[in-house]
Structure 1
Amino acid sequence: MNCVSCNAELPQEAKFCPECGTKIGDMECSNCGEPLKPGAKFCHSCGSAADSESQAHETTQAEGGTTQKSWLATIGPFLFIPVFVGIIVILFWKNREPEPMNASNATAAEQSAPSMAAMGQVHETLERLKQRVEENPDDLVAIDSLATMYSIAGSYDKARKFYERHLEIEPDNQQIKIALGLTYHSLNRTEEGIELIEGILQEEPTHAFALFYLAEIYASSGEMKVAEEHWNKIIDHYPNTEIANMAQQRIHEYKHTDSN
């Protein structure tokens, strides 16, 4: 199957085109019928798991123009290609002292090194996305793709600029606010990150993603009691769901760490 917009070949079960970002599928929760975010693991409205075909209904469609997608799904194609992600990290790795190599590990290092062709593909992808943004400053697909690639690479200040640029265009996008809040935290601007995500919870106190990632920020800042309160809210409001299980696991991990 090919994309109706750019004619690129689509991966099996693709939800959007990896080349142009055109959306090719909508998903609905089988429990409450609400639309699901692309790549969502659970229903934001009722908390039902959405990671199997029996729990979600997909209808294929094409949309013209700029496609606005979940920031969690923007990088979808890259996440299914671990080598590609590894290359991105290598390209942006900053000021790392190389570990000494000896004869025993030289072969393994050489074997794991990415090919020049693959590295060139990464550069080409970045340049193509930058060109798209230059030609269309409101291209949210390209903006989100750049932001997410830079985030994965650890270039958080560059990622921040693109997330902030998205919010200039779409100021009420909650998922981009969460992404930007996490980016602020990575830039040691934790208070700004917390304020941004807490703003979402003021409007929607049970927003699962906001609760989960705000808890992560608090936990990494040593505020475990506050983090646990947020994770417990997820468990209370979304029982027997994947994100509730993740929250329970995080509480268990931190308690286990504290006891050691």
Structure 2
Amino acid sequence: MSEADPKNANKLIPSATILLLRDGTAGLEVFMVVRHHQIDFASGALVFPGGKVDKLDMAPGVRERADGMDGLDDWEFSMRVAAIREAFEESGVLLARNEQTGSVVDAGRLKSLEHYRDPLNRGEVGIADFLSKEGLRLAGDMLTPFAHWITPKMMPKRFDTRFYLANAPEDHVAVHDGSESVDSVWISPMQALKEAEAGTRTIIFPTRMNVEKVGESPNVTHAIETARSRQIVTVEPQVTKNEAGEPVLRIPKEAGYSVTEEPLSAVANVAKPKAG
């Protein structure tokens, strides 16, 4: 997006992200990555794998190779394709099936596809060509819509983001890509929130709210069933003032989060992790 073009100022950027889930020994865990410090959004923060929708996500041939996405409009379809593609690029987890067997790709097959991660990320290979060449189908039915957030109007770069839940295939080893993300962790929502509170992790407001919400579930099955039963309310935080006259970001109560407002100072000045 050109900064010199006023028509593109504050334009919403379609994006998607996945909360990859698994049942750990102590309960629900979610896969998160640490953004590279040179990334212009949420640099250094602990986030879910995800990114912008690419024009190639809607290329001819993609719909014909997607399960569980019949009847979706172009916007929602492209979001789910982007979510699966970005999860593969950033974490190495691929929600796709062998078109011959109908089975989700196993660890052995996944390893043979590893070399596609960077070309997909750089746009050198489109998702349609990747699927066709490798005889794969996107497992869109493994995604459960979870949340929808839009960056506040005051921000110079604004995202229109869909969040999805997915039960990570057991034999897929999730690992950060080393470029956009520089570290990764399977972590319980409670632990992630605890570390953010202590200042040892940086977690931005939307991520923290969704970590907290998914943490209301004790296991993957409960999280997915709960998400399917809830109506998704779009959250576009509004800048306003509280009763004390202090500026806050306010989100709709109907969205089902534990808080409805956050001090603007806390959002604008995200604490950096403590040294040591």
Q: TM-score, normalised by structure 1?
A: 0.29
Q: Judging by fraction of residues, say which structure has more strand.
A: 2
| Greater relative contact order (Cα < 8 A, sep 6+) | 2
Rg larger in 1 or in 2? 1
Q: Judging by fraction of residues, say which structure has more helix.
A: 1
